Amino acid sequence: MTIQQILDRMQIAELNDMQKEVQERYNPNADFILHSPTGSGKTLAFTMLLDKHLKQDKPGVQALILVPTRELALQIEQVVKKVLVGYKVTCCYGGNDTKVERNKLREAPAILIGTPGRILYHMDRNHFDPQTISALVLDEFDKSLEFGFIGQMTSIVERLTNLTNRILTSATTMTDIPTFTGIGEYVMVNYLDNSAAAPKLSIKKVIAPAQHKLKALFKLLCKNGPKKTLIFCNHREAANHISELLEDREIIHDLFHGGLEQVDREIALLKFRNNSNRILITTDLAARGLDIPEVDTIIHYQLPYKEDAFIHRNGRTARMQSSGEVYVILKPEEDYPYIDKDCPEELLDGEYDLPPNSPFATLYITGGKKDKINKIDIVGFILNLEDVQKDDLGIIEVKEKEAYVAVKRSIALSIIKQANNQKIKGKKVRVGRT
């Protein structure tokens, strides 16, 4: 497989400097450590390395990718499937149906992606053979340690007795690599201090007394208009409170935090990706390891206590060397050592219109990959409806049992009425709003 083929599949013009250096310096006879910021393209970098170790028609799992969160597992699955065409890929994570995962593991995938707890669950029940695994990726390893997965990861690695290649990635510098990883002689690429690759961030502060913070946030959203915005809170209660305010103003948005069901979190991210909503209110759960492209603005409604967390949050914008803006909402007496005292202030002394809602809405269709339904089938199905044009369709994502389609909000109801209980590839489907 050539690099150009991979670029075409990923729809990018070229590899960035970090990815090029990884390719140049990688030694298949040594372990590999990559330190690089959130949003710099680590997933593509290590996926291209795995391509050097996989063999077609070799039985059993060949590569295991361990990650700290289910959202990151799903993101990596998408990239791996685009890059490593022809290899079976299976993703396992907490909150997913264990029976469905077991059925997928009966015919062992070449690449297995998962969270430590769920991978250990399948290991303990002999749902796959760890002896066939030769390559291990520990992605966002610092986050896995922070989440307390040491015991589970240790148990997993101990059973991988035929490993020949280990790859570790981290968004913070790790001076001490735990011995349980088994990493011996290694090559390191460190882009954490690379100024040329640093994101182009504009950071401004908004000063507001505690009783006026919510009002200041609202005015900032109005002033910023249609910009795609992530609002970070330290606690889910604050996120819910902001959501109630926006709900009262009929401003379309979504929530993303650990108090929500997994399916609701996944749909919130999906709608943010496909531009059905432009405002996502979240906790640090969305600070790392998520595929959220093209975020224009980060707003820290509550600032984290540590600078590392601040940096990771900001990594959601200005990705891949693009530009982005960051706002911190501070009470007059607040002072954070990692916020420059000369940081310019954003004044909110005008009257601003409500931010416009996205022209798109997301519909669900009760048919997916297991029904052999793909994006082309869905496009053809919807374009055959009355008064629907190609420009009325946005991003389509097809899952195992359902599909999600961004459509112009103005015709969403018409599509539902026409499409509901019709057939796609012989399957009768229901269509509705998310």
268 with 143, same domain: the answer is no
21 within some domain = yes
Using one digit for the tens of pLDDT, what is the confidence trace for 11-39?
888 899 999 999 999 999 999 999 988 77
Helix (H, G, I), strand (E, B) or coil at 223: helix
Characterize 112-125 residue by residue with b for buried, 16 or more Cβ atoms within 10 angstroms of its Cβ, and e for exposed.
bbbbbebbbbbbee
Among residues 200, 185, 147, which one has the least CA distance to residue 324? Answer: 200
pLDDT of residue 262 exceeding 90, the answer is no
Q: Which of 7-21, 205-219, 233-247 has the lowest mean pLDDT?
A: 7-21
| Pair of tokens at residue 111 | 């690449």
182 with 209, same domain: the answer is no
pLDDT of residue 200: 63
pLDDT of residue 319: 47
233 within some domain = yes
How does the average pLDDT of the chain come out, rounded?
90
pLDDT of residue 194: 60
Mean pLDDT, rounded, for 361-365: 97
Q: pLDDT band for position 348 (50/70/90)?
A: very high
336 within some domain = no
90 within some domain = yes
Domain that holds residue 98: 3-195
Among residues 187, 182, 185, 164, which one has the least CA distance to residue 54? Answer: 164
144 with 254, same domain: the answer is no
248 burial type by CB count under 10 A (0-12 exposed, 13-18 middle, 19+ buried): exposed
Identity of the residue numbered 264: D
CATH (domain of 373): 3.30.70.330
169 with 155, same domain: the answer is yes
Using one digit for the tens of pLDDT, what is the confidence trace for 142-182?
889 888 999 999 999 999 999 999 999 998 888 789 999 99
Longest dimension (CA), the chain: 66
227 with 100, same domain: the answer is no
Tell which wins on pLDDT, 95 or 141: 141
331: DSSP letter: -
Using one digit for the tens of pLDDT, what is the confidence trace for 117-140?
999 999 999 999 999 999 999 999
CA distance 145 to 151: 10
12 with 120, same domain: the answer is yes
353 within some domain = no
Helix (H, G, I), strand (E, B) or coil at 170: strand
Tell which wins on pLDDT, 394 or 315: 394
Give the distance, in angstroms, between the CA of residue 206 and the centroid of all CA atoms in the same chain: 28
Helix (H) or strand (E) holding 122: helix 116-124
Mean pLDDT, rounded, for 97-106: 94
CATH (domain of 111): 3.40.50.300
List strands edge to edge, sheet with 360-365: 393-398, 403-408, 360-365, 431-433
Q: Which of 91-95, 120-124, 154-158, 193-197 has the lowest mean pLDDT?
A: 193-197
Q: pLDDT band for position 290 (50/70/90)?
A: low
pLDDT of residue 13: 87
CA distance 355 to 252: 9
266 with 364, same domain: the answer is no
- Look at residues 165, 195, 225 and tell me which one is the last residue of a structural domain: 195
20 with 169, same domain: the answer is yes
The total number of structural domains that make up the chain: 3
- Look at residues 171, 195, 219 and tell me which one is the last residue of a structural domain: 195
pLDDT of residue 195: 47
355 within some domain = no
CA distance 90 to 117: 15
Characterize 250-260 residue by residue with b for buried, 16 or more Cβ atoms within 10 angstroms of its Cβ, and e for exposed.
ebbbbbbbeeb
76 with 137, same domain: the answer is yes
309 with 275, same domain: the answer is yes
414 within some domain = yes
Mean pLDDT, rounded, for 235-258: 94
Predicted TM-score (pTM) of the model is 0.69
31 within some domain = yes
164 with 19, same domain: the answer is yes
316 with 366, same domain: the answer is no
pLDDT of residue 197: 47
pLDDT of residue 431: 96
- Look at residues 146, 179, 195 and tell me which one is the last residue of a structural domain: 195
Q: What is the per-residue DSSP string for 4-64?
A: HHHHHHHT-SS--HHHHHHHHH--TTSEEEEE--TTS-HHHHHHHHHTTT--TT--S--EE
Strands 403-408 and 360-365: antiparallel
Helix (H, G, I), strand (E, B) or coil at 211: helix
pLDDT of residue 102 exceeding 70, the answer is yes
